[in-house]
Amino acid sequence: MGTAIHPETVLIIDFGSQVTQLIARRVREAGVYSEIAPFQNAEEAFRRLRPKAVILSGGPASATDIGSPRAPDIVFESGVPVLGICYGQQTMCAQLGGKVETGDHREFGRAYLEIETDNPLFEGIWAPGTRHQVWMSHGDRVTALPEGFKVIGISAGAPFAAIADDKRHYYGVQFHPEVAHTPDGARLIANFVREIAGLKDEWTMATYREQAVAAIRSQVGEGRVICALSGGVDSSVAALLAHEAVGEQLTCILVDHGLMRKNEAAEVVEMFRKHYNVPLVLVDASERFLSALHGESDPEKKRKTIGRLFIEVFEEEAKKLGGADFLVQGTLYPDVIESVSFTGGPSVTIKSHHNVGGLPERMNMELVEPLRELFKDEVRALGKELGLPNHFIGRHPFPGPGLAIRCPGGVTREKLDILRAADAIYLDEIRKAGLYDAIWQAFAVLLPVQTVGVMGDSRTYEYVCALRAVTSVDGMTADFYRYDMEFLGRAATRIINEVRGINRVVYDVTSKPPGTIEWE
């Protein structure tokens, strides 16, 4: 998952918290590269990455249980600064000779931290004698500190809510500084990585571009390269990086699987052929994909089928080109995180349409994944660095399986045409209202139910269309966008009037916590 190109790295050991990825985001916002490793693989990750600091995440386990997760001993033997958050604080104290107990003083939600003393962790944000809102989520709590630690902050339910061993550069907080509900929490994490650990703010997209291009050249050498181009921001940025690195050794392949948005294939071809002069092959495989998907309602089988067919098409096109040694893919860090079951859960199925774990041996090709270490907003920043136009950089994400997963139930060409038309109208209304850039992702879904309705003097029996819009930063978490009713009424009226096959429109107001799938 990592490389050796980041001399200053913060390793985040994941104990199963739902918000571990937010810690990584906060570290990167401070200008320092970070990487997450599950606690089971933490020792290997530590030796590979040689981090300059370590953060221990929260998690659902109890530090008082026999066999509960622990940080590897190498972390504390290495002398690098360590910050423990929630469970991370508890296991750090337990491992270093302190005491953790399960009691009746639980804290979940908003709490208030009272600052006891000056400390580098609080520099510039919190002063002694002041009281600040933080976000708690714990049942256990530290009841005795290891030797060398002191209390620097308390709360009603946690007498050791913030602790420090300044000599060894060990720090622990019972609250979650990484979440938005802890104002100034991001600055606390920045204090740890920048001031305490002494790391420089050298994590920039200009630097990453240079390193990624060099890494691609080193990996590819004189080999032939094909790129899986979908037309989305991720694959487009990956393609431009690869083209900058290896030039004419690269050929992009755009597979029109019949599941794309309206006019999408034509728009992508025009941009890459005319504006970037990147070699591009357009493959119309819509009949092949739709035949294989016809009537299939199981969402996981849809993803597996689409992934398998993509591989087959790339194999065939590579042979037509005289063979290929490498396949460029726009895998992002969230794809990697969600594809690895860090704590034994079912998240391995979430990105099953991606080839995150590698390609089938029969392909005899090696994956090139230049964006594998980036979050979505970082990819957009890199796209800007590469010269992609703003309207394209800000384009809403579109999943690899395309409209197949926005058409729950059986997939047919008729249903896809209805969905494609409704989706185009919805996005058109969003743009007209000036809301497109305020929304991270918006799309229509054709629900697998039909309802009776009356349109004019006739009774209809047609599909229900659901509209979704969410706000997010990196796609790992999302909250629904709060439209006003005037907008929803306008969009719904256009869809019902202009799209035959839909007689009812609803708005989805669910949120996306970490590790959930869009609509399945």
Per DSSP, the residues of 14-47 read ESS-TTHHHHHHHHHHTT-EEEEEEGGGHHHHHH
Residue 45 · residue 61 · CB < 8 Å? no
Amino acid at 380: R
Residue 405 · residue 518 · CB < 8 Å? yes
Residue 218 · residue 248 · CB < 8 Å? no
Length of the chain: 520
Amino acid at 132: H
Distance CA 122, CA 496 (A): 56
Distance CA 371, CA 155 (A): 41
What is the biggest distance separating any 2 CA atoms in the chain, rounded to whole angstroms?
A: 82
Residue 168 · residue 104 · CB < 8 Å? no
Distance CA 91, CA 98 (A): 9
Per the structure block, which two tokens stand in for 283?
Answer: 């493959």
Distance CA 323, CA 321 (A): 6
Torsion from C-alpha of 480, 426, 255, 449, nearest 10 degrees: 80
Q: How many CB atoms lie within 10 A of CB 45?
A: 22
Q: Is the dihedral of CA 275, 276, 280, 286 positive or negative?
A: negative
Radius of gyration of the chain (CA): 25
Active site residues: 86, 176, 178
Distance CA 88, CA 519 (A): 33
Distance CA 393, CA 380 (A): 6
Query: Helix or strand or coil: residue 213?
Result: helix
Where do we find the tokens 């487009």?
A: 236
Distance CA 453, CA 460 (A): 5
